[in-house]
Structure 1
């Protein structure tokens, strides 16, 4: 072995002394690699590659560890994630056990803010609170009479606001429900403070604009967290969803300044730019920030009972969830965007919504004529017959695999029942049909670590320790590919990233051990010890350094 480019000079980076999982088509393994100019120049054995080191070479000593392609996160929300990291209120569970705990955190935050200043919190989950309900303005008002408060649900599909926030955005008893959303009301018709789906999006867009500086800091916080977990590329599937046009401005500013180290592939939220749903403007042909896709939300969340199901919810058989767009309108928007040259990524959790999405793609031709690799995001309850149609029309998927661990028990016992729950994220069925799919964490909905997602895909174990649909598990190689080269395929980037091959980007993650050589239950506990982007050491663990030299 010793794959090199002709006339290779002293390398910028040399990696030696471990296992190199290339994840190329043949599953090649090696012990060393070299990179120059940001790309891989050689893969081979230690002796051959060591000879490529020179005085200025950064040498990574694996010391028996493994190196894999940098993880490609195929569905994330970096600005949203960064905002949660910096938020004054952590409303999640843990650390909160009850609504009272969340309210106390709001009370503490109010002390630090001036009257009239907005206070934001994130990650509350009504199904994990002892009260088993959403907070309301009645809970928040006593501790925040003069500050608008906005608490965003862990799924992002709901939010709760206090009376000051309702006044600030102009919502009262006379305000009609927006299309695709609900303003929850009490028995007198007054808003309770709970806003559902597009009503939640409405309050986000009505908040005081968050400038590019604030959003840039949020993006940098997320960037640092991605690197800690070996993520070198992220698909931002919804630019503008939380921060409006300021998100795109922040990305462009950071890209020009060279401050973002992770590679971001952008999908605009479909309401961000006027005319976007009509297929205008066309995607930029070139530029400093990759922006070729548009994200549409077709339905809601299964755990919020707004995901649109063909069969009713197990806990409420008369409830089927909701479509945020009527199927005909969804199909019209898909066709307009496709005709204008955009790749389309449609959020679909419930199988009724997935039917509508596939119908929209099917109208483009079979397979979906342009080769733009249109996507279904989450694809949580997709049925076998729908997978057949996806394969026939060349529709790709990004599966939210961590649903199995974080919500699997509740899907089985509350929302879907055992039969449907065991089939959430049916990776084995998709793989058997040759459907290209990526895996994702949807951060900040669940934590970043891709190794946890790989463990979920391989073991199908829930947070309660039960197996959920083990027949839908895949092997470690397939799971790794779902977070690397197959995820890159979804954005048309598989020739540039996702596997370790000569000529491809030198984006690497150094793992504490080879995930294909350990017990599957141990995969989740492996660590990322270093991350390399473009041949430069971007991060390494302080307690397990891979080199004594810093990134040059």
Structure 2
């Protein structure tokens, strides 16, 4: 049934404009307090307590939501996501994922259908193909795509976001030939004759993606709206956009301005600019970047995003020891250590928080080294971050704690790629340590959790289940010693995720004075049991005391 919402008359002396009651309220504060009701006024929490005392704060115009035994928690904070990329993938003509595609032939047929539906010369976009799940166990190439699309440019983006495949028409549009050199931090894959095969690795992918038409501010704003609706549907009230500009450059900031001005940002956005957007103004401070308008409680810029290495599943994550399937391959640094350290120092000096993508332990070492050079300022935390942090070692966790470096762990790797990390990429011992939450907690490293959408699906409850159960797609328990309890996992998507962006005074727990951002669940995750966590539904999502999503169903 739909989530109930009604206005009821109560004590006219009350001051709340929004109340929830008759359920369980998990505050997730440090004391672990629980209540049954909550009141809010002007978008912020007024009081948390029992039904009777909270009802006394209601007035004649108060909106009262009856939880009917359901559970309210702080709104989920997604600490690493790509809203524009996500929205574009939702709108794409080709769903290149597995499922539904089992082979390269399946992908080609979907492209062929999109070409039949498209106009002459129209670009065909697809997202989420995964070569390691296709029965062919390979990337598609221009030789596969050209027969069904000789004239329409085709670009298929890998599920990791670190590769793409282009047909000959798309390669021509970007001027890529056999004579085109590999760009810094990337590689153009070539066939036995030296001609481009269609596969573009890391920065080489931008040679084509930067030529895509129709990625103006209006299109990107539509993508933000699509993504926002999906975040809200899964209980996400705040998103860290870790890479504004990766897809559409400065037009992404203009898109945010459009959506904000129209009052259409369903979730709050905390922005981390892709560092290339500051090219030409390396000393720019957060207040100097005004493309998205003045900051408010729905959008603010706080950080810079750098990318140190690639992806483990693409063999471009930079490892100290080689890949199990290719012992001589160690991956690649997209920014060399000295360049990385120089950039981090410059952005830190300008007042930015820095978030650096690091998957392999060699890349993580370079990131920690760069942060360590900054020193520790007296009386404050820099709160610089390592994103994904997949293969971080015990010695590196100790160094991170010593230098107050935070982590945002890509916990869903355990489920979505755990089997392949164990059997192909990393081997059993390194694979069992991916996203080592228990070790990080023991070392004193503060961390949030994320889904990296659209790389994996949004639902935070799935990520919480991954942190607690450590189960792979094939049902294997991967590194159970790195599992954490449900409350720790919940905090990784709420209180600790808010801390990662310096927003803990406003978000992450349900306490008076904080923003009235809540997620209403159909069951209490702390009592549901590990295996039922993924089955819990989001009944409603509330941002600033306003319902932005209302679902239905009970368990």
1:77 aligns with 2:77: no
The equivalences for 1:15-54 within 5 A come to: 15-54=20-59
Q: Which residue of 1 aligns with 2:154?
A: 149
Asked if 2 retains the 8 angstrom alpha-carbon contact of 1:169 and 1:207, the reply is no
Q: What per-residue deviation string (whole Å, max 9, x for no partner) do you get for residues 513-535 of structure 1? A: 11001111111110010011000
Q: Which residue of 1 aligns with 2:443?
A: 433
1:405 aligns with 2:405: no
Whole-Å separation in 2 of the counterparts to 1:524 and 1:494: 26
1:89 aligns with 2:97: no
Deviation at 1:281, TM superposition (A): 5.0
Change (3 A) 1:147 1:281: farther
Give the SS at the match of 1:451: helix
Whole-Å separation in 2 of the counterparts to 1:18 and 1:250: 39
Deviates more, 1:106-115 or 1:64-73: 106-115
1:280 aligns with 2:284: yes
1:237 aligns with 2:245: no
Whole-Å separation in 2 of the counterparts to 1:369 and 1:199: 43
1:380 aligns with 2:385: no
Asked if 2 retains the 8 angstrom alpha-carbon contact of 1:275 and 1:281, the reply is no
Paired residues in the alignment total 538
1:537 aligns with 2:541: no
Whole-Å separation in 1 of the counterparts to 2:497 and 2:438: 16
The equivalences for 1:454-465 within 5 A come to: 454-465=464-475
Asked if 2 retains the 8 angstrom alpha-carbon contact of 1:296 and 1:346, the reply is yes
Q: Which residue of 2 aligns with 1:326?
A: 336
Whole-Å separation in 2 of the counterparts to 1:390 and 1:508: 31
2:307 to 297, 301, 325: 297
TM, length-normalised to structure 1: 0.95
Q: Which residue of 1 aligns with 2:507?
A: 497
1:223 aligns with 2:233: no
Deviation at 1:54, TM superposition (A): 2.6
Change (3 A) 1:488 1:463: same
1:364 aligns with 2:374: yes
TM, length-normalised to structure 2: 0.95
Q: Which residue of 2 aligns with 1:550?
A: none
Change (3 A) 1:306 1:368: farther
Unmatched segments (≥5 aa) in structure 1: 1-6, 546-552
Whole-Å separation in 1 of the counterparts to 2:279 and 2:356: 19
Whole-Å separation in 1 of the counterparts to 2:286 and 2:411: 32
Whole-Å separation in 2 of the counterparts to 1:223 and 1:8: 37
Deviation at 1:541, TM superposition (A): 0.9
Deviation at 1:126, TM superposition (A): 0.2
Deviates more, 1:284-293 or 1:247-256: 284-293
Whole-Å separation in 1 of the counterparts to 2:377 and 2:116: 58
Asked if 1 retains the 8 angstrom alpha-carbon contact of 2:285 and 2:350, the reply is yes
Q: What per-residue deviation string (whole Å, max 9, x for no partner) do you get for residues 86-105 of structure 1? A: 10000000000111111111
Deviation at 1:369, TM superposition (A): 8.6
Change (3 A) 1:368 1:518: farther
Asked if 2 retains the 8 angstrom alpha-carbon contact of 1:292 and 1:342, the reply is yes
Deviation at 1:206, TM superposition (A): 2.7
Whole-Å separation in 1 of the counterparts to 2:512 and 2:346: 39
Q: Which residue of 2 aligns with 1:548?
A: none
1:202 to 169, 182, 207: 207
Asked if 2 retains the 8 angstrom alpha-carbon contact of 1:8 and 1:41, the reply is no
